[in-house]
């Protein structure tokens, strides 16, 4: 699994209310959620982010409530993956559950700048930004399969179908 995209940077402690404001949670339509992704901290982000982009953030990304809407809004805003120094644990799990790959890396977060092109290879455990190669932890094969299938439920349905 390899992703190459434009970097959008965010700081520390980006919470789920900032990722998808509560006033937009009256819908389950993921395309609507994507449209309003990051609306309060970067108005229009959900409609302007390039498809296949990569968010690079600081510590504790996805803190706050346990809403699954947050990673879903990122995915439907066109975000291919999220790299952060660290993630709130429930956000981490919710992201994998809906098929959004997330990577913890202090090195990438300190080197990638807004507008850079970042390549992340989850098979080999390598990332490249600004011509510099950075080692990352490879994604475990079972997590890659979950992401490839689009999330936990599609993976489960496919692997348990008879």
Query: What CATH number does residue 130 fall under?
Result: 3.20.19.10
- 124 CB-near residues (< 8 Å, 6+ apart): 138
Which pLDDT value is given to residue 71? 96
Q: Which pair of tokens denotes residue 80?
A: 């291919």
Which pLDDT value is given to residue 139? 83
Q: DSSP 3-state assignment of 71?
A: helix
CA 86 to chain centroid: 12
Count CB atoms within 10 A of the CB of residue 140.
10
Which pLDDT value is given to residue 43? 97
Structural domain of residue 139, as residue ranges? 2-160
Count CB atoms within 10 A of the CB of residue 53.
22
CB neighbour class for 162 (10 Å; exposed up to 12, middle 13-18, buried from 19):
exposed
Which pLDDT value is given to residue 162? 55
The low-confidence residues of the chain, meaning pLDDT below 70, are 161-162
pTM of the model as a whole: 0.92
Q: Which pair of tokens denotes residue 115?
A: 């507008």
Angle, alpha carbons 32-38-44 (nearest 5°):
70
Which pLDDT value is given to residue 138? 83
* Count: domains in the chain: 1
- Are the beta carbons of 95 and 62 closer than 8 angstroms? yes
Which pLDDT value is given to residue 65? 86
Which pLDDT value is given to residue 41? 95
Please count the CA atoms within 13 angstroms of the CA of 99 that sit on its side-chain side.
16
Which pLDDT value is given to residue 161? 66
């Amino acid at each position: 699994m390899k992703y190459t995209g434009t970097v959008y940077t965010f700081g520390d402690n980006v919470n789920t209310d900032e990722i998808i404001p509560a006033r937009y949670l009256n819908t389950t339509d993921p395309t609507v959620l994507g449209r309003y992704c990051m609306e309060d901290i970067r108005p229009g982000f959900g409609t302007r982010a390039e498809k296949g982009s990569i968010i690079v953030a600081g510590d504790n990304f996805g803190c706050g409530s346990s809403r699954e809407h947050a990673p879903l809004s990122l995915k439907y805003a066109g975000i291919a993956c999220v790299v952060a120094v660290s993630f709130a644990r429930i956000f981490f799990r919710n992201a994998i559950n809906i098929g959004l790959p997330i990577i913890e890396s202090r090195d990438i977060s300190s080197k990638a700048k807004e507008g850079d092109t970042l390549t992340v290879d989850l098979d080999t455990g390598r990332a490249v930004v600004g011509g510099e190669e950075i080692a990352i932890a490879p994604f475990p094969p079972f997590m890659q399969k979950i992401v490839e299938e689009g999330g936990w439920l599609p993976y489960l349905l496919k692997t348990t179908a008879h």
